[in-house]
A = this chain, B = another copy of it.
Amino acid sequence: MNSYGKIFKITTFGESHGTAVGVVIDGCPAGLAIDLDFIQAELDRRRPGQSKITTQRQEGDKVEVLAGIFEGKSQGMPITLVVFNEDQRSKDYSHIADKFRPSHADYTYQAKYGTRDYRGGGRSSARETLARVAAGAVAKQFLDTIGIKVTAYVSQVGDLALDTDYTKYDFSQIEANILRCPDATMAEKMIERIDETRKNRDTIGGVVTCVVQGTPVGLGEPVFDKLHAELGKAMLGINAVKGFEYGSGFEGVKMYGSQHNDLFYSEDGKIRTKTNHSGGIQGGISNGEDIYFRVAFKPVATIMQDQESVNEEGEAVTVSGKGRHDPCVVPRAVPIVEAMAALVMADFFLRNK
């Protein structure tokens, strides 16, 4: 339920306005040097208030270690990381306590559980993803030791889209702008679009592209646990995601087999493919080429506008749009996509070694 992975397995916990948000990482190999500063840096990439195009809410999000690290290294025991919530005072939530915000989880949680922590969305809040980013930062450090590198960037905002061919972009430029888009010119346009949207008290969707490099041949399983099926599940589990495609994706539908097939050749004793419509995965198993995929994010549901809705009794009410909001989720989603991809890759590496 709140766990992900089979060998490198994480369990997240915590509500948006509860005491803490955290994660237990079970199955991290013993003896891995863990750099806490790197974990903090990853959390900072996800942190609210980091730029003018993210929510202006300010949260420090300082990570603390409760268990599992001794003398700077993992011990093969569960690693527990937490971030204590700074702002736990009881605000007045009475204006939303019994109202269902449109396209949030308020209604489905209430119907399913008969109760819910209505403060800031409780557990359904995207704040939960900081636990994934912390765990992903550990997974990334493990992947470093085996040469696997995960890189994500913003490739679309609204209808402003980069070319789907990731090889055209210089990954070193991704963090050069607040959007995390490797094309500076497009980044500027996209930032402008988000800023406009913010001024309109609205939100807009986007796409994050992710590339996994250095994967050895043989990760993934036949049938149900195909590598891309797990990557897909991991991405679709991120708040606001509506779609996932890898390799040629939905565009590949339009191709003929004779165009789409990736022909094998041999290079320096290594078997390679001339093209990579397969997205680095064949029969569910990595073939050593780059793995790449795209993740579609809807416009986030919290907007600064009044909206019609109903309350728990089914009576018509107005949900008011106050406070601070994220006009576009993708800049902060980049580290989350990377974290989940890193967790999937670490897990499969350990399952299949």
Q: Can you pick out 23 interface pairs between chain A and chain B where the beta carbons lie within 8 Å of each other? A: A2-B224, A11-B78, A13-B79, A14-B67, A19-B64, A20-B80, A22-B66, A22-B67, A75-B122, A77-B123, A103-B257, A105-B285, A108-B217, A109-B222, A111-B217, A111-B218, A200-B256, A224-B237, A248-B298, A258-B303, A265-B308, A269-B314, A277-B298
Contact of A113 among B31, B82, B314 (CB under 8 A): B31
Q: What is the CA–CA distance of A19 and B20 in the complex, to the nearest angstrom?
A: 16
**B residues within 8 A CB of A65?**
19
Chain B: minimal CB distance from A271 (Å): 6
CB of A149 within 8 Å of the partner chain? no
CB of A166 within 8 Å of the partner chain? no
Contact of A222 among B77, B221, B233 (CB under 8 A): B77
Q: In the complex, are the beta carbons of A112 and B285 less than 8 A apart?
A: yes
User: What range describes how many residues of A lie at the interface?
Assistant: 35 or more
Q: What is the CA–CA distance of A351 and B287 in the complex, to the nearest angstrom?
A: 24
Chain B: minimal CB distance from A351 (Å): 8
Contact of A287 among B67, B107, B220, B243 (CB under 8 A): B107
**B residues within 8 A CB of A66?**
13-14, 18-20, 22, 82
CB of A331 within 8 Å of the partner chain? no
Beta-carbon nearest neighbor of A19 in chain B: B66
Q: 5 smallest A-B Cβ distances: which pairs?
A: A105-B283, A243-B245, A203-B257, A205-B253, A30-B113
Q: What is the CA–CA distance of A266 and B100 in the complex, to the nearest angstrom?
A: 12
CB of A199 within 8 Å of the partner chain? no
Copies of this polypeptide in the complex = 4
Q: In the complex, are the beta carbons of B257 and A202 less than 8 A apart?
A: yes
Q: In the complex, are the beta carbons of B229 and A80 less than 8 A apart?
A: no
Contact of A250 among B4, B64, B242, B254 (CB under 8 A): B242
* Per-residue interface assignment for chain A, residues 270 to 289, with 1 indicating a CB less than 8 Å from any chain B CB and 0 otherwise: 11010001110011111100
